[in-house]
Amino acid sequence: MRVTTGMIFSQSTININKQYEQLYKYDEYVSSGKRINRPSDDPIDMGRVLGYRTLSSSLAQYQKNIDNGMTLLRYTETALADAEQVFIDAKVLAEQMATGTYTEEERDMLAVQAEQLYDHLLQVANTKVVDRHIFSGYKTDTLPFTRDAGYNVEYHGDSRQIRLAIYQETEVAANITGQQAFMDDKNTFDVLRDLRNALRQNDQAAVGELLPEISDAMSQIVRVRAFVGTAVKEMEASKMMVQDFGAQTTELLSNTEDVDIVDAVGKLAERQIAYEAALKSTSLIMNLSLINFM
């Protein structure tokens, strides 16, 4: 077969283009750090990459939900600890009145203290974190509790729970409603109201009868607080699980799409030499100085 100049030029061009494609490929590997930059690079592994990326995004959202839920529950636990202290102080106050003899002035001072405890409990129940009331149920923009002049309280929130997705098909409640915390089994506000009224009326017997009520109200707060504490621990465990899954997913993604950078740099240097050799040999064969400037 007769080899013509055109055939030599055509074959040389094909060889140069082939070497350039290889050079470009490894240059892209090195610059991007990725073995897969488009679906055509590896259709099968690209499917895995997309799956890992979707899972990683979901895990990041679960992590955010858990962090938000833990923040809300921790503020709730702190508020309930304050409420518990209110009833510890109320019990001490009631025991003093039930077992001692006081002047009218001293009784008035104790009644003022009872009013202060009531108002402090109301303040705790209306705790707001940033722009959200934590005891309003789902109506976080609504003030949960108000009272009238007679120390009768009214709840303005709802009974809905704020539920957060913390993993696939797994949701948890991240709040306790004011109804649950302060009014369900025992209306804790009414207990303090009755204590205040008994002190105002200097009714020592009534104060004594309120001691079990105060204990029951405190027990209710303690139970709710314990429930919240358990929820925090469960979320902490979920957080660790999601973090572990996230680390595993990141590793799988990296193993699938990332390039061995040391190997890629070495092969890039090899392709650079091969490309330059193809240019030089073609120039020598064809004696076309223009190729030196391609």
Q: Is the pLDDT of residue 17 over 80?
A: no
Q: Tens digits of per-residue pLDDT, 82-107?
A: 999 999 999 999 988 877 677 777 87
Q: Is the pLDDT of residue 10 over 70?
A: no
Q: Are 242 and 62 in contact (CB under 8 A)?
A: yes
CA distance 176 to 154: 17
Query: For position 293, what pLDDT does the model report?
Result: 47
Please tell me which residue, 106 or 42, carries the higher pLDDT value: 106
CATH architecture of 59-252: Up-down Bundle (1.20)
Q: Tens digits of per-residue pLDDT, 201-257?
A: 888 889 899 999 999 999 999 999 999 999 999 899 999 999 998 999 888 877 777
Burial grade of 37 (CB within 10 A; 0-12, 13-18, 19 or more): middle
Nearest Cα neighbor of 117 from 146, 88, 145 is: 88
Query: For position 61, what pLDDT does the model report?
Result: 93
| Mean pLDDT, the chain, whole residue set | 82
Please tell me which residue, 65 or 274, carries the higher pLDDT value: 65
Q: Tens digits of per-residue pLDDT, 201-215?
A: 888 889 899 999 999
Q: Tens digits of per-residue pLDDT, 143-169?
A: 999 999 999 999 999 999 899 998 888
Residue type at 13? T
pLDDT band at 6 (very low <50, low <70, confident <90, very high): low
Domain ranges of the chain: 5-33+259-293, 59-252
